[in-house]
Amino acid sequence: MAASAASSFQITIARPSIFSTKRITSFCSTKFGGETQKLSCNRLASSCHVSSIQHFWRSFTSTTQKFQKVVTKAKSEADDSKPASVLPIDLRGKRAFIAGIADDNGYGWAIAKSLAAAGAEILVGTWVPALNIFETSLRRGKFDESRVLPDGSLMEITKVYPLDAVFDSLEDVPEDIKTNKRYAGSSKWTVSEVAESVKEDFGSIDILVHSLANGPEVTKPLLETSRRGYLAAISASSYSYVSLLKHFLPIMNPGGSSISLTYIASERIIPGYGGGMSSAKAALESDTRVLAFEAGRKQKVRVNTISAGPLRSRAAKAIGFIDMMIDYSIANAPLQRELSADEVGNTAAFLASPLASAITGAVIYVDNGLNAMGVGVDSPIFKDLNIPKSTE
């Protein structure tokens, strides 16, 4: 979970978008803002309020089309006196563990918010070195505005666990990490230990989300990537998902759902997205299919991955050219608009719900259709072609 700088262009620009009529009643305070409300944290072992996402709008010279608000008609509570008027995404009574939230500015956060709006209880795994900052920011209310759900209540997280998904067990942790001051004060943060802690605290989960990636040499071309850097990207970005599912599957209820995040660089060349990260995403997608078979046969758990378009998250900004990728997507995708983190969150809520009960082993594209394009239509080469353009 050394997941931060190299996360696949999962960039965040968000605001509440899933409809919910029920306030989640867990208590917490996490690091990762709207009306500020006071929350109780005394039930949490690692005190963590979790926030939603701030509105962020950006105008682009590459298009004149305005960003449109996307609202998923999720329904966490129905009126008993009459049938629901919409097809509900109802996750009441479900418990989700989301690995990879370190702030309120990424896809993991948006997924947590969507699941919470649909009624799920939220547990979070946060990278150990980021945990203190995350919790401090939450306690000080820095994320209160982005925690606001569509019904006005605040998204809450029942508990936040320290997690480093690069290590399966304590025996795998090198001495320099064990003695690192950034890990001081935290314990039971390897994958197997976190799974065991969740089992002791709650017994079981229904939803597992992998929202983390890291490649220490992501800015290097593949030909300049070291063996160490390449293997580190694979370990943190793809095998970490195998490990999470391996250790959490025994405590997942039959009919549960597991979701990860991938990127189109797994299939297409994205110059600048290097260090083995494209290889890691390709491995993640291949593993998704195999894990869908194994987890489905063993525990009746569905396994899918979302191929998300570029998003302005803090992690993606570290790659250095995320703004360029967003502009490119707006200019070339079938839908000329900027992607919202909420749209990925909404898709995850759908995949986790009974509405997607027959979907497993799939790569679901949430990228305004950019994956379908074979060429970049903004190239001067195509200037004389009659290419459809937005009329707004």
Nearest to 256 by CA among 209, 188, 290: 209
Decide: residue 181, CB within 10 A, 0-12 exposed, 13-18 middle, 19+ buried: exposed
Q: What is the CB neighbour count within 10 angstroms for residue 9?
A: 29
Nearest to 370 by CA among 343, 322, 330: 330
How far is 288 from 8, CA to CA, in rounded Å?
17
Decide: residue 20, CB within 10 A, 0-12 exposed, 13-18 middle, 19+ buried: buried
β-bridge pairing 205-210 and 159-163: unpaired
77 strand-pairing partners = none
Contact 17, 342 (CB under 8 A): yes
Nearest to 360 by CA among 261, 262, 256: 256
Contact 34, 88 (CB under 8 A): no
72 strand-pairing partners = 18
β-bridge pairing 95-99 and 252-262: unpaired
Cite the active site residues.
238, 281
What is the number of alpha carbons within 13 Å of residue 194 lying toward its C-beta?
A: 34
How far is 71 from 99, CA to CA, in rounded Å?
25
Q: Positive or negative, the Cα torsion across 200, 235, 8, 316?
A: positive
Amino acid, single-letter form, for residue 313: S
Report residue 142 as tokens: 């820095």
How far is 159 from 236, CA to CA, in rounded Å?
23
Measure Cα distances from 314 to 3, 128, 242, 253, 388 in Å.
11, 17, 25, 33, 33
